[in-house]
Amino acid sequence: MSPSESSPRLSVETENLTLSVDGVDAAVHATDRRLFVEVESLRDALRIARRLPDESVSNRALAELVRGGLTAEVRVRGRTVAVAGADARPGPLSHRLGVAPAELRLAGVVGAGYGGLSAAVRRAQRLFS
């Protein structure tokens, strides 16, 4: 096996990287085969998603993730809300919403939404205590 065959075509290494899209800052970090994009709220995740390039560019980026054996996760408040790349398994909801080949994780969306609502309630309680 030649060295070019044994090494991945795409490699991502990050440490304290911040991605800024449409005024939304997202912390980015990576493990061996996963890239994590962390945002504060579902609204921020949607703002970033709306600014993604056109479908042909997005599809090429996803194809490179798959070819490289990499997976990207979008996380809100520590909950995975979307997965793209090698480990994405889009289900009926992803297809219905037109986000396939990305995987939408409904439990993550609900958990992140609940976490955001709980945080807002706690802030309001502190204001009036």
> Which residue did the predictor score with more confidence, 10 or 3?
10
Q: Predicted confidence band at 9 (pLDDT cuts at 50, 70, 90)?
A: low
As for how many domains the chain has, the answer is 1
Q: Please, what sign has the CA dihedral across residues 84, 54, 94, 100?
A: negative
Average pLDDT of the chain? 87
Q: pLDDT tens digit string along 30-44?
A: 888 999 999 999 999
Of 69, 59, 42, the C-alpha closest to 99 is 59
* Residue range 11-21, pLDDT digits in tens: 666 677 898 88
Instruction: Provide the domain limits for residue 69.
Output: 3-127
Residue 8: pLDDT band by 50, 70, 90 thresholds? low
